[in-house]
Amino acid sequence: MLEFLQGFSYGLFLSCLPWFLVGLVSPRRALGTLRPSRWQVVIRYWFAVPFLAGLLWLTSLWGGFGPSLGGWLAGLVAVAVALPLERRLRGWWGNRQQRRLDAQHERDVAQRQAKQAHDAREAGEEILDPDHPPANADAVILALCDAKKRLLAVKQPALAQQADRLYSRYRKAIAVLLERFEVGELAFERARSLVAEVCFVAVDNLTTMASQASGVAGVDGNLVRQRLAREGDRLSPAERLALERRLALVEDTHRHLRELSGRNETALTALDNAAVAMARVDTRRPQASVSADQALGDLQRFVARAERYSRSL
């Protein structure tokens, strides 16, 4: 055993120089790390591995009959055998960490969705369940359900919340119409068709947002920015250009999403204005036979006469 360790230490020490030169030319060939660099090559093959070889040599000096040939050969191929194992182990660990991060991200998204739903309920807004539409759902509500389902499928819960807000505004506007007009009246049908048209325009925007978001659903913009910040000097020109184009695509898509979201905010404001304006319309027949000023004047004159009548008695 000691002979093998002596030979292994000699072979490992002799293999440091070739691997060091290979690493200076191409760090990826001499390292098993995910982001290899020449500094890592210097630390590993100029300090760490020679120190390990010297330590093995010192611990095997107290016995044995000299280095064995098998130890020499094992030391010479030790780095070549260890590199694939290291890459596989680091890949497994990286995948494990990524699964953890993905699970944490999903939990965070679920918590944000629950908080948004709670805030919406506190604000009096109705929550639309895309998998279970209301029993009396019309074409507008069904279209909103489909748009919200598409947005949730591409991991855009914040944008999907606009469907809930549109649903609440639509229900409110229709309720005001039902209070102010009779079903079947020309004014009722005209107002309802206009409200529905505004909602359909917003639904088209939501559908477009879902389609654009699905195109970059697999691209992590934060990860791309981090790679450009950390490895900007070590990246090849082609890889750097590819990352910059990917980042530009993500940012351009997000800009379009913000523009479409702004258009939907305009539609929400229009629905609010319509509900307020229609709530001011009074189509009921008045119960009083005289105006308010006349009724108040008559009441004051009656009170004055009643006081004179009391003094005369």
Angstrom distances, CA of residue 96 to CA of 92, 99, 102, 103, 153: 6, 5, 10, 11, 24
Place of tokens 């009656």: 302
Note the pLDDT of residue 162: 86
Over the stretch 85-95, which tens digit does the pLDDT of each residue have? Answer: 988 888 788 77
Q: How many CB atoms lie within 10 A of CB 176?
A: 20
Higher pLDDT, 302 or 87: 87
Residue 313 has pLDDT above 60, yes or no: no
Residue 150 has pLDDT above 80, yes or no: yes
Over the stretch 19-74, which tens digit does the pLDDT of each residue have? Answer: 888 888 888 888 887 778 888 889 888 888 888 888 888 777 766 567 778 877 88
Over the stretch 99-134, which tens digit does the pLDDT of each residue have? Answer: 787 777 677 766 766 665 556 554 556 777 788 888
Over the stretch 181-239, which tens digit does the pLDDT of each residue have? Answer: 777 778 788 888 888 898 899 899 999 988 888 877 666 666 666 666 666 556 667 77
Contact 69, 14 (CB under 8 A): no
Note the pLDDT of residue 107: 75
d(CA 275, CA 173): 5
pLDDT band at 252 (very low <50, low <70, confident <90, very high): confident
| pTM for the whole structure | 0.54
Task: Give the chain's count of helices (H) and strands (E).
Answer: 11, 0
Q: Integer distance in angstroms from the first to the last C-alpha of the chain?
A: 134
Residue 286 has pLDDT above 60, yes or no: no
Note the pLDDT of residue 312: 53
Residue 302 has pLDDT above 70, yes or no: no
Residue 171 has pLDDT above 80, yes or no: yes
